[in-house]
Structure 1
Amino acid sequence: MSIDIHWARGELAHFLKLTQLHRPPDPPGVVSFGPRLANRGSQGDIVASAQVVEQILGRVLPRWRTEVPDDRNKEINRWYQHREAAQRADVVLERDAEIRERLGDDAPQLSAGAMHPWVWDGARALWQSGHFREAVTAAARKVNAETQNKVGRRDASEGALFQSVFSKDSAKAGQPRLRLMADDGSDTFRSVHRGAAAFAEGCYAGIRNPNSHEDGLPELPGHEALEQLAAFSVLARWVDSAVVAN
């Protein structure tokens, strides 16, 4: 599902208004001479708004917590980092479509939130904190666990599990299969399940294992991590839609 730009910009504007600094009037009979500043909104209203705004920022600027400075003027306004991130996100939402059109890059874009729930549920928390490589690994583990749950197995995982469940052979005791189409003896049936097994093997051998076992790897760029999540989303949809054959 694509983001509702009108709604998101309204939430950002509301937050920016609540966190704007102003000099409140002095109480009756009191005259202050210092720069006594306060946010326009109450702390409760700001915290409630921030809860929504952080979700928007996670979609629009996934690395905002590390890329937006948080050490300037926080003693004046504790919401400084949130405010700058909200301002940046608002510009992205307002101008992104225009910029892509003007620069000649109006191609479709991937949305992590539109991927299979197993993938995004597994990756979301790490993704929103900028840990892209770990987010992909978490998504891979989630897909593996949900596949185990679907076929009721704990004795096999990852590559071995998918080789078994997508095997063209008939089910055996303790080894159910996942069927993406009925076994009609056709080349298509054999091709579909051979391809699914090979694709799963590639996902775990080529993506999950290097991400998990190689120390000192640099952080994945966001767009590469998104492509890897998309691969696991394809696999998750196949598993989720498949019929269990015992």
Structure 2
Amino acid sequence: MGIDIPWARAELAQFLKLTDLYVPPDPPGVITISSYMENRGSEADIVASAHVVEQILDRLLPRWRTEVPNDKNKTVNRWYQHREAAQRADAALQRDAEVRARLGDNSPQLSAGAMHPWVWEGARALWQSGHFREAVTAAARKVNAETQNKVGRRNPSETKLFQNVFSLSAPKADEPRLRLMDDDGSDTFRSIHRGAMAFAEGCYAGIRNPNSHEDGLPELPEHEALEQLAAFSVLARWVDAATLETI
């Protein structure tokens, strides 16, 4: 499901309102000369709002913590970085479609935050710090672990795990299967499960292994890493939706 734009913009606007800076009035009968400014909202209200806003920012600007300047957090206000990120996110929500159309790129956009939760939960922290290759590896490990959890096994793992769970043979006492459709004896049933095995092997042999075992590899470009995450998201959705078949 896509982001609820009116809701997100309202949350961002509320946060910006709470963190707006102003010079507090002098007490009655007192005149002060000071550049001191404070936020309009209470600290409790700002913290509560920030909890939601940070999740919006993570979806729209995954690397806002490293890409948006925070040098004025101490000298101006602790919420300075959040405010600039919120302003950028609001502009993206309001004008992204227009900008892409005007620049001649109005194609569908792929969002890491919209991928299967196993993938994005595994990758999020590393992705936000710009460690794209490691983020893909972490996502691969998460999909492997969740698949093991679903079938109740710790061995085998990765390629051998998926070959086993998508095997066309009947389940055994210690080897449950994952079924993407009922076994009706059709070529479709066989094709789907052979395809799932081959796809999983490609993900782990062709993506996960090189990313985690080759020293000195340059950092992945973000768009390539996003494509690799998408591959693991497809696999995760298949596993998540599959029926567990035991004896």
Same-fold status (TM-score > 0.5): yes
Give the C-alpha shift of residue 95 in structure 1.
Answer: 0.8
Distance 1:219 1:48, change over 3 A: farther
C-alpha separation in 2, matches of 1:189 and 1:24: 70
Paired residue secondary structure (1:110): coil
Q: Which whole-Å deviations, capped at 9, do the CAs of 1:60-119 have from their partners, x for residues lacking one? A: 111111111111363121211111111111111111011112222222222333322322
- Report whether the alignment pairs 1:136 with 2:166: no
Q: What is the TM-score when the length of structure 1 is the normalising length?
A: 0.90
Give the C-alpha shift of residue 130 in structure 1.
Answer: 3.9
Task: Figure out how many residues of one structure are paired with residues of the other and give that number.
Answer: 246
Counterpart contact for 1:62–1:130, Cα < 8 Å: no
Q: What is the TM-score when the length of structure 2 is the normalising length?
A: 0.90
C-alpha separation in 1, matches of 2:56 and 2:245: 42
Distance 1:200 1:47, change over 3 A: same
Question: Counterpart in 2 of 1:14?
Answer: 14
Q: Which moved more, 1:221-230 or 1:74-83?
A: 221-230
Distance 1:108 1:185, change over 3 A: same
Q: Which moved more, 1:29-38 or 1:214-223?
A: 214-223
Question: Counterpart in 2 of 1:204?
Answer: 204
Paired residue secondary structure (1:178): strand
Question: Counterpart in 1 of 2:83?
Answer: 83
Runs (5+) with no aligned partner, structure 1 = none
Give the C-alpha shift of residue 35 in structure 1.
Answer: 1.3
Question: Counterpart in 1 of 2:27?
Answer: 27
Paired residue secondary structure (2:182): coil
Paired residue secondary structure (1:161): helix
CA RMSD of aligned residues (A): 2.0
Give the C-alpha shift of residue 198 in structure 1.
Answer: 0.6
C-alpha separation in 2, matches of 1:242 and 1:165: 10
Q: Which whole-Å deviations, capped at 9, do the CAs of 1:34-75 have from their partners, x for residues lacking one? A: 212212222122111111111111111111111111113631
- 1:169-188 maps to which residues of 2 (within 5 A)? 169-188=169-188
Give the C-alpha shift of residue 145 in structure 1.
Answer: 1.5
Give the C-alpha shift of residue 129 in structure 1.
Answer: 4.2
Paired residue secondary structure (1:181): coil
- 1:1-246 maps to which residues of 2 (within 5 A)? 1-72=1-72, 74-246=74-246
C-alpha separation in 2, matches of 1:244 and 1:5: 37
Distance 1:193 1:73, change over 3 A: closer
Give the C-alpha shift of residue 233 in structure 1.
Answer: 1.6
Q: Which amino acid aligns with 2:57?
A: L
Counterpart contact for 2:73–2:79, Cα < 8 Å: no
C-alpha separation in 2, matches of 1:171 and 1:42: 59
Identity %: 79
Runs (5+) with no aligned partner, structure 2 = none
